[in-house]
Amino acid sequence: MNDDRKPVRPLRVLLALEANRRAPLCTLLHAEQRIQIVAEASLANEALFHAQARSPDAAVLDVHFPDGDGLEVVRRLKLAAPECVVILLSDPPPSLGQESSPPGAAFIFHKNTDPQQVVEALLRLALTSSPTTPAKQ
């Protein structure tokens, strides 16, 4: 039987966060077959390097980096990879919702948000974006 459907590949994700925020998210994401962590970063320059080198489908970014501004990282990442969906973790105000997200960020969460909520946003992206790989013959 010949199946012409293309196999769905996992959503490729870059995590660029402080280690203490990244670790619980990594634990949850490693349990998800529909999500693949392609790179991790703690610094703005690392995040931009990995974004260009790994071509992630989505990036979870901190608004603050020790070596730069997270909003500038979003701007530069979107110039280099406009198709990459950005989820931004921010400080207060908690009233800052998706409708007032910074340019280039599809979602914004407070830094203290339960990591499971970020995972759920990534799973929604995995279901709606349906990245594919060439069918094996």
Count of the separate structural domains present in the chain: 1
Domain that holds residue 88: 11-129
- 5, part of any domain: no
On whether residue 36 sits in a domain, the answer given is: yes
Residues contacting 72, CB < 8 A, separation 6+? 44
- Locate tokens 């203290």: which residue? 112
- Does residue 137 lie in a domain region? no
Residue 135 falls within a domain, yes or no?
Answer: no
Amino acid at 125: L
Residue 101 in domain: yes
Low-confidence ranges of the chain (pLDDT < 50): 1-3, 94-99, 130-137
Q: In Å, what is the CA distance from 92 to each residue of 18, 32, 34, 106, 135?
A: 17, 29, 31, 18, 45
Q: Give the pLDDT score at 6.
A: 53
Instruction: Indicate the pTM of the whole model.
Output: 0.82
**pLDDT number for residue 135:** 29
Instruction: Give the pLDDT of residue 99.
Output: 45
2 in a domain, yes or no?
no
* CATH for 114: 3.40.50.2300
99 DSSP assignment: G
What gap in Å lies between CA 51 and CA 45, rounded to an integer?
10
